[in-house]
Amino acid sequence: MLDAVLPPLCLGCNEIVEAPGALCAACWQGFSFISAPHCACCGTPFVEDLGDEALCAGCLVRRPRYHRARAALVYDDQSRRLVLPFKHGDRTDIARACGGWMARAGADLLASADLVAPVPLHWRRLLVRRYNQALLLARIAVRTAPPRHDLHLAPDLLRRRRWTGSQAGLKATERRRNVREAFDIHPKWRPHVAGKTVLLVDDVLTTGATVEACTRTLERAGAKSVDVLTLARVVRPAL
C-alpha cells in the first residue's frame, strides 16, 4: 500500500523505479562507473588495457602516499547530481546504493583491510550537517562485503583536530597545505593501528590532499599500509 502511495524513485532523476535505491535505465547508462582497466595505484580509468601494474602519468610523476585508491564513479555532471544531495541535502537514503557500488569497486581493498575508517569531519561541520557522509558509506560498504570476523569498522579512528574550512576552489598545493597536520588518531585506537592495513573511506577523491594527510597520520602511528575507497573521483583529461 505504501509503495502505491509513495513508489520508489530513481536516485538520479526521481522517475518511478521497481525498487528503492535503484537507477532508471537512462540514468544507469548516464553514470560513468569505473572498472578495469585503471591505474594500479590511484584507480584512474584507462582507455585501453596497459597491464595490471600500469600507472597513470600523474602517479609516475608523483606517487601518492597511499598504496591504492579505488572509486565507484567518475565525478562529473551526472554523478554530482547524486553526490551533492547526499552530502549537503540530507539525502542519507542514497548511501545504501552508493555503499554497495563502492563495495564492488573496492572488493580487493576490503578483502585485504584490517580496519575501515571514514575520513572525519570537524565537530563544527558535523554539528551543522548532523551526519558524516563518509561514515554512512563505510558502514554500507563493510556490510555489503563478504563477511570477515577480522575486518573492523573504526568510525572514530581518525579525528580532525582543527578547522580547515572548505577545500573547494583551492589548488592542489593549497589543499595539501590546508590539511597539513589536521588529523590525529583517537587515543583508544592507537594500540590497534600498528602493523594494520587501513582502508580510508570518503565521498569524493579530488586532488587526494585530504586522504594523503590522513595516510601520513596513520603511517606515523605504525600502519602497515593505507588504501582509499571513495564513491566518486575526479578524472582529469589526459595530456
pLDDT level of residue 5 (50, 70, 90 thresholds): low
pLDDT recorded at residue 94: 92
Report in angstroms the alpha-carbon separations of 53 from 68, 102, 163, 219.
11, 21, 38, 23
What's the predicted TM-score (pTM) here? 0.93
What's the whole-number mean pLDDT along residues 28-33?
Answer: 92
**Among residues of the chain, what percentage have pLDDT more than 90?**
76
Highest mean pLDDT among 46-50, 82-86, 134-138: 134-138
Residue 3, burial from CB neighbour count under 10 angstroms (0-12, 13-18, 19+): exposed
Query: Tell me, what DSSP letter sits at residue 187?
Result: G
What's the whole-number mean pLDDT along residues 198-211?
Answer: 96
Q: Is pLDDT of 109 > 60?
A: yes
Lowest-pLDDT range of 85-89, 101-105, 227-231 = 85-89
> Which of 72, 83, 90, 114 minimizes the C-alpha distance to 229?
72
What's the whole-number mean pLDDT along residues 125-140?
Answer: 96
pLDDT level of residue 168 (50, 70, 90 thresholds): confident
pLDDT level of residue 20 (50, 70, 90 thresholds): confident
The Cα–Cα gap between 217 and 160 comes to 11
Phi/psi at 104 (5° precision)? -75, -45
Query: Tell me, what DSSP letter sits at residue 91?
Result: -
